[in-house]
């Protein structure tokens, strides 16, 4: 079912309010990127945990010179994420759009309270 203009505006307003901010994602990436905080924020929990574990293992094993490998991997990962964050934010906006569209379609398909209260 196509949505009217008011419903589309409602969806876009909800996207603007509920979607993740690219500014916050970049700030998290720049200041605590090694912890994977930006990935936690954007909902990529599995890869965020892996990044955090690599970072911790790297620092714990750094005195025996093994830790340099995981720390370099995390550094490369953070650098690559500089370019991936816009796509992650866009996917989050699409997710919010789909949820809102589904809510509006379910609400339109359900009988209203006024229709149910009228005698047949």
Q: Is residue 87 part of a domain?
A: yes
Q: Alpha carbon 81 to chain centroid distance?
A: 13
Output 29-37 pairs: Cβ under 8 A, ≥24 positions apart.
29/78, 29/81, 29/82, 29/85, 33/78, 33/81, 34/71, 34/74, 34/75, 34/78
What is the domain extent for residue 91?
19-101
pLDDT of 14: 87
Q: Is residue 57 part of a domain?
A: yes
Q: Is residue 116 part of a domain?
A: no
The pLDDT of residue 92 is above 70: yes
Q: Is residue 31 part of a domain?
A: yes
Nearest to 6 by CA among 89, 92, 108: 108
Q: Are 15 and 89 in contact (CB under 8 A)?
A: no
Q: Is residue 109 part of a domain?
A: no
Cα–Cα distance for residue pair 106/58, rounded to 1 Å: 49
Instruction: Mark 6-44 as b/e (b = at least 16 C-beta within 10 Å).
Output: ebeeebeebbeeebbebeebbebbeeebbbbbbbbbbeb
* pLDDT tier for residue 107 given thresholds of 50, 70 and 90: confident
Q: Is residue 59 part of a domain?
A: yes
The pLDDT of residue 117 is above 70: no
Q: Is residue 114 part of a domain?
A: no
Tens digit of each residue's pLDDT (9 = 90 or more) over 4-47: 788 888 888 988 888 899 999 999 999 999 999 999 999 999 99
What total of structural domains would you count in the chain? 1
Q: Is residue 112 part of a domain?
A: no
């Amino acid at each position: 079912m196509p949505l009217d203009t008011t419903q589309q505006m409602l969806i876009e307003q909800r996207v603007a309010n509920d979607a993740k901010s690219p500014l916050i994602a970049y700030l998290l990436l720049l200041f605590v990127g090694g912890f994977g905080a930006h990935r936690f924020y954007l909902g990529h929990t599995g890869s965020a945990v892996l990044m955090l574990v690599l970072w911790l293992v790297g620092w714990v094993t750094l005195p025996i010179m093994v830790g340099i490998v995981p720390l370099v991997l995390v550094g490369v990962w953070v650098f690559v994420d500089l370019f991936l964050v816009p796509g992650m934010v866009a996917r989050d906006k699409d997710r919010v759009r789909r949820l809102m569209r589904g809510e509006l379609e379910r609400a339109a398909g359900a009988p209203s309270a006024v229709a149910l209260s009228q005698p047949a």
